[in-house]
């Protein structure tokens, strides 16, 4: 069985062909492309049409170059962002980037209409101004003309699946990131939307991960040169949900860190935790594969280092991630830790970090190595603090940490995480999101029985590396 996974991240996208045979999964990258947002006078946008063009190129590589007709196609992307379709099925406005400034300062304005506690009671979602709820509400407050013609709201993976299959549906895992899905009642939070004057009639039917949406549209099928009908599946369309589905874990005493542009740190549980304590600690209840709840915290992960790298490149110093990791490993321990969530906005990140250090009375790092070290140690410290909060909320210990995704290649960060948390870290697979995308499609096709079998396949298919905490290192 072969499944084609389109995995779109904040920096790049890939078409990955997953082959399942005798309990093992292999992944083959067919096509990689950059994902570069576009800044216009009116805001920051995703280049969605270019991204769909690249998805079509991936189909062509699969069918015409590799001569493979896949048994399914699925798309995953980051969370929260969306587009509106008009009555003719066309986009009425290009989807905005979650870092667009239109939601800046909107939290308190929203709370003046619906209290923060009530929003959390209805949605169980961590309060972040980039969430879909605040993006949509900002459009209403600004009088966006798109809302007058909008007939259907589709999150980005649902939009790409619609363009592939013609089926406009909301896949559950991506819908649960919006802050207008109720994880307890398992439906849209329509009373909340009504309180904010947002029209819930534009919200489509919610379908679970693994749902077959339909067949690849005929013109795409013909262009790709596929030899038979190709199903399009709503996989676990939120990239973190796909990644967690591929966690090579057993038992229940573990937590995960899906490490990339964002760090998503959490656990799997059976039911949402929506109470005063989880609100105070700003944790979130999102839905994962097989109906599991991903109880987690969003942390501004390697984005900070990515922004530093961009700033240094503009100055003529194009450091690779591998170079930065090596320079950070050679640098002395940091003398201060920053809060990653204070550095989520774009800008001159090295200058902002230096200013933070000076304002804190600590010499600012000048060279890339010490600055990268400061960022990685700050992430590890943030992970430690969030794990302590998780243990408090769960009332039980967490005994090991699974780190997967592209950031799991950063061996220094893995080791610092083990040191700071005083817990073993199991790193890998780096391609967890693509693996989970494929495996959830295979579950929908009936080829993989359940989540336990999917995770056993991951353990049998990918190398893992274990990092033990070093004694008396960063124990304070």
Which residues are catalytically annotated? 239
445 three-class SS: coil
| DSSP symbols for 456-470 | HHHHHHS--EEEPPP
Omega into 100 within 30° of 0, i.e. cis? no
| Residues in Cβ contact with 470 at an 8 Å cutoff, skipping those fewer than 6 apart | 415, 418, 419
What are phi and psi for residue 85, nearest 5 degrees?
A: -100, 145
Instruction: Please tell me the distance from the alpha carbon of residue 295 to that of residue 391, in angstroms, as a whole number.
Output: 12
Residue 284 contacts residue 296 (beta carbons within 8 Å): yes
How far is residue 292's CA from residue 244's CA, in Å, rounded to a whole number? 10
CA separation for the pair 58, 56 (Å, rounded): 5
Beta bridge partners of residue 14, listed in sequence order: 7, 32
Whole-number Å distance between alpha carbons of 29 and 21: 18
DSSP-derived letter for residue 396 is: S
Specify the residue for token string 């609100």.
Answer: 279
Distance CA 245, CA 462 (A): 14
The rounded distance, in Å, linking the Cα atoms of 261 and 254 is: 22
Dist CA 248 CA 276 (whole Å): 32
CA atoms within 13 A on the CB side of 462: 30
| Beta strand 170-171 pairing with 206-207 | parallel
Tokens 């804190």 sit on residue:
360
Question: Which DSSP category does 206 fall into?
Answer: E
Any idea which residue has 């550095």 for tokens?
Answer: 343
d(CA 305, CA 269): 31
Q: What is the distance between the alpha carbons of residues 3 and 149, in angstroms, rounded to a whole number?
A: 36
Cα 2 from Cα 186, distance rounded (Å): 32
């Amino acid at each position: 069985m072969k499944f084609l996974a389109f995995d779109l991240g904040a920096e790049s996208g890939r078409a990955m062909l997953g082959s399942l045979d005798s309990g093992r999964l292999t992944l083959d990258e067919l096509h990689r492309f950059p994902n570069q947002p576009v800044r216009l006078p009116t805001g920051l946008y995703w280049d969605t049409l270019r991204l769909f063009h690249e998805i079509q190129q991936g189909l062509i590589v699969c069918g015409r170059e590799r001569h493979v007709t896949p048994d399914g196609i699925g798309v995953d992307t980051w969370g929260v962002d969306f587009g509106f379709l008009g009555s003719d099925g066309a986009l009425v406005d290009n989807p905005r980037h979650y870092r667009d400034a239109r939601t800046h300062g909107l939290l308190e304005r929203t709370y003046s209409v619906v209290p923060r506690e009530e929003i959390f009671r209805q949605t169980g979602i961590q309060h972040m101004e980039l969430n879909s709820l605040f993006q949509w509400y900002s459009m209403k407050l600004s009088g966006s003309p798109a809302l007058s013609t909008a007939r259907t709201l589709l999150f980005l993976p649902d939009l790409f699946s619609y363009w592939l299959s013609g089926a406009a549906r909301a896949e559950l895992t991506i819908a649960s990131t919006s802050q207008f899905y109720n994880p307890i009642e398992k439906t849209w939070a329509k009373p909340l939307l009504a309180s904010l004057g947002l029209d819930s009639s534009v919200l489509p039917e919610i379908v679970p991960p693994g749902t077959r949406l339909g067949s690849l549209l005929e013109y795409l099928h013909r262009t790709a040169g596929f030899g038979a009908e190709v199903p399009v599946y709503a996989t676990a369309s939120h990239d973190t949900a796909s990644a967690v589905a591929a966690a090579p874990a057993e038992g229940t005493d573990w937590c995960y860190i899906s490490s990339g542009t964002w760090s998503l740190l959490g656990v799997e549980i059976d039911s949402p935790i929506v109470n005063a304590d989880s609100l105070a600690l700003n944790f979130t209840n999102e839905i994962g594969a097989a109906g599991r709840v991903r109880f987690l915290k969003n942390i501004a992960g390697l984005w900070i280092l990515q922004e530093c790298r961009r700033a240094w490149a503009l100055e003529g110093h194009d450091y690779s991630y591998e170079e930065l990791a090596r320079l950070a490993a050679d640098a002395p321990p940091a003398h201060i830790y920053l809060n990653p969530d204070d550095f989520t906005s774009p800008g001159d990140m090295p200058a902002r970090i230096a200013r933070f250090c000076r304002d804190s009375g600590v010499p600012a790092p000048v060279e890339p190595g010490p600055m990268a070290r400061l960022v990685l140690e700050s992430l590890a410290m943030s992970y430690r603090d969030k794990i302590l909060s998780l243990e408090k909320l769960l009332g039980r210990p967490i005994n090991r940490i699974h780190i997967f995704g592209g950031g799991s290649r950063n061996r220094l960060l893995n080791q610092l995480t083990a040191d700071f948390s005083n817990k073993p870290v199991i790193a890998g697979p780096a391609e967890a999101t693509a693996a989970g995308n494929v495996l959830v499609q295979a579950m929908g096709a009936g080829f993989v029985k359940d989540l336990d079998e999917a995770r056993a396949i991951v353990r049998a298919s990918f190398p893992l590396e274990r990092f033990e905490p070093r004694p008396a290192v960063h124990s304070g």
